[in-house]
Structure 1
């Protein structure tokens, strides 16, 4: 079919240009000179203009109309599904608006970083208001009279709706809060590590952890960033981490988390390279990989026993007596403000807070000027103590500054998916802990690679999780896992 082949050749170049745009973003967050921010904004806007022109090229519509999908393989039909979805979306967004969003969000990253460093929300508020208004305009163009938030959500989790997620999260929140309250009142409370942990040694062990989880440094690299992230796909998937002298787990588990993201991208079938199928199918599914790597595998009793030996070999006495105590330390539930540093139990409460607030921002029910107050009120209700400064509150995350409205709920959706995948993994590999205790994650990562990662965008998000698990995803496995795990740790 000439039309199909012409379309896929055109799409290949579009995908390659998108990878270049992603690399500019990686550079901005890692090694770009601070003084280059304004120029980088223009560069990002220029390449976004080129990408938007390609994604709305009338020839794409003509090729789609000329192709008889029934004559294609399942892979070919999936390619068309993605291309048609993106084409329909992009033709609704004016090119000038797409470029304005790229320019403003690129500049906003620097404004946010400075405001966060200076504890000055008022300095960031005008920029956030501009980004929010641009994204509202985009949502209006996409929604066709429907929910603006649902329209934005499709960028990150195709097929999901705000109402559906609200119901799922509504089932999560009360059980999470109840378990947290029981834990906080428990007689047994794990301690913590002590001492100062050299940054260089942290990064050496972080690299070893990445390799332990199967990260391929021939197709990636590990760098530092203010906010850890993963970037790229195909044969170039990079990760970042951060360090703190008094908290080595920040570095180690950020690294494992980002390896989960990168492993998904690197594990996709090579036949899908530089096509719409050659990347993770949704951010919820993506997050399922980072969270199961980080938590169900990386914070398991078996694996933390191995990690305890690695840490004592690297740092000497860390103030923890044995591997059992270390397991409690790694999984300790405590008061904290920062989502990315949160324990496994309370993490979803951070996400649910953001989900509710950003829906209100997009709908207009919450104004930017009122965001700190709304955030602080909800935080105290869910966590039981007050926010002390903006960098521990509504300035802590980069997401809204770069316009990622609709992204936050995929973190908790990913946790739900991870809970289901973990249940299926344990059923499929009953002796999993034997390998993990030796620092061998291959049985777990291999199962995930075979049953989920290699498919890339071939299936719809929930479809690929359901196929891997053998049952429809629900929040129940995650909640059951959390209650069993933390009841044992805290002797409830």
Structure 2
């Protein structure tokens, strides 16, 4: 037990330093002066060097060898499992590569942001090529001769394989395409009218965050180009964005990030600053953000409550009643931006990215051909052409951050959310009455007790299966939910 205690004390310091590095990233996205970019890249590289040295420290191997797993409780064995997995991966990555990636990614983020603002893919392409080359080197070191994309996917969804995700996504596509075509053939609902000031939007954003149980004593809301959640335990921060003609972007970005943040805030405090003290995977994390945003936040009951708050804040904004507001919030329409896509079309955006990034990492697609490949695929899937790079290949931050293997977890999270929502509805029969009063506690308490509380205790598919009463996750519940909801909205 002494070896285990020593290992966990060392690990807590490593996790604390990782939180500090994460705070540097949060600051870069929200408050950092533009001129500090080069210095920040050096700071992040230095932090990554320290973290990498700790993750490959030889004493970790000694402690792991000395520990008898049978002497530990289930949480201790899960801690050991995750530390062993992380140590094995870290020891295969040269310190030089880890620091070089951290430095390049910090610099590439600034290049991407400027290229996006200028609609100039070619100015970003060289940095992207460098990132891909380093990620390929990393994947080769991790893959043991297997699929190098799977080696990167492991960082975000342990145990997942690209071939299994491809099969799931192939099963999703036909019914999504058919539903999309049927819905778009119907008349569109009335949208909002007028302008919506930033102060009012941020006031409502904080209101809806509180309605979902976000603890502002352990968090805060700021603005960023690309909304995100950062941190864990007692410091979990979210960002959102505002646009004067689109109040829904702010509201639903906020609810989405609150889903991520609530997961982190609700993890068992005993796991804080340990491997179990964070969400178990990005797919499971995304299941929380999506079920908060869509199945709960865009439900008829909850949107009825939001409608009243919108009227209180902005007065008449062109929508006559709660039913019309529900239809407006769930409008299916053509658009380029993944983060603004409706539930029907969202996964088609993700599938595009999944296929392209797999091809990039495998060397089947060059960076020079990426923009054309994106545009061709988008037109094939959505039926119209991309108008500019910021609406196409430059719209997402992920590749500039080196997050290859991340995109498929968005659709996997939607699949998980569909399964969880089916079980939630069975477990909380009076849910709609609560939501109509702005009370989400029936849903959020169920998610906390059946999933969020466990943090990383269980493997990703296991925690979803346990929450769903032993039923393994599949795409069926999500598709059934979408067809029922949008069939009703559009009279199909």
TM range (shorter): over 0.9
Cross-structure match for 1:231? 230
Cross-structure match for 2:181? 181
Q: Give distance in 2, aligned partners of 1:472 and 1:231.
A: 29
Q: Give distance in 2, aligned partners of 1:365 and 1:202.
A: 44
Cross-structure match for 1:56? 56
Q: Give distance in 2, aligned partners of 1:185 and 1:334.
A: 10
TM-superposed deviation, 1:174:
1.2
Cross-structure match for 1:9? 9
TM-superposed deviation, 1:297:
0.1
Corresponding position: 1:297 with 2:296: yes
Cross-structure match for 1:347? 346
Deviation string 1:230-285 (CA, Å, 9 cap, x unpaired) is 00001100000000000000000000000000000000000001010000000000
Q: What is the correspondence of 1:46-445 to structure 2 with a 5 Å cutoff?
A: 46-186=46-186, 188-445=187-444
TM-superposed deviation, 1:190:
1.0
Deviation string 1:28-62 (CA, Å, 9 cap, x unpaired) is 00000000000000000000000000000000001
Q: Give distance in 1, aligned partners of 2:348 and 2:218.
A: 35
Q: CA RMSD in A?
A: 0.5
Q: Give distance in 1, aligned partners of 2:184 and 2:279.
A: 37
Deviation string 1:85-105 (CA, Å, 9 cap, x unpaired) is 000000000000000000000
Q: Give distance in 2, aligned partners of 1:177 and 1:345.
A: 8
Q: Give distance in 1, aligned partners of 2:422 and 2:381.
A: 28
TM-superposed deviation, 1:345:
1.0
Q: What secondary structure does 2:218 align onto? A: coil
Q: What secondary structure does 2:394 align onto? A: coil
Q: Give distance in 2, aligned partners of 1:228 and 1:292.
A: 17
TM-superposed deviation, 1:336:
0.5
Cross-structure match for 1:459? 458
Q: What secondary structure does 1:218 align onto? A: helix
Give the paired residue count: 491
TM-superposed deviation, 1:191:
1.6
Structure 2 unaligned residues grouped into runs of 5+? none
TM-superposed deviation, 1:355:
0.2
Structure 1 unaligned residues grouped into runs of 5+? none
Q: Give distance in 1, aligned partners of 2:418 and 2:278.
A: 22
Q: Give distance in 2, aligned partners of 1:239 and 1:4.
A: 34
Cross-structure match for 1:26? 26
Q: Give distance in 2, aligned partners of 1:148 and 1:49.
A: 24
TM-superposed deviation, 1:135:
0.5
Corresponding position: 1:44 with 2:36: no
Deviation string 1:78-125 (CA, Å, 9 cap, x unpaired) is 000000000000000000000000000000000000000001000000
Q: What secondary structure does 2:126 align onto? A: helix
TM-superposed deviation, 1:381:
1.0
TM-superposed deviation, 1:189:
2.3
Q: What secondary structure does 1:345 align onto? A: helix
Q: Give distance in 2, aligned partners of 1:254 and 1:100.
A: 32
Q: What secondary structure does 2:344 align onto? A: coil
Cross-structure match for 1:481? 481
Q: What secondary structure does 1:357 align onto? A: helix
Deviation string 1:410-435 (CA, Å, 9 cap, x unpaired) is 00000000000000000000110000
Extract structure 1 runs of 4+ deviating beyond 2 A: none
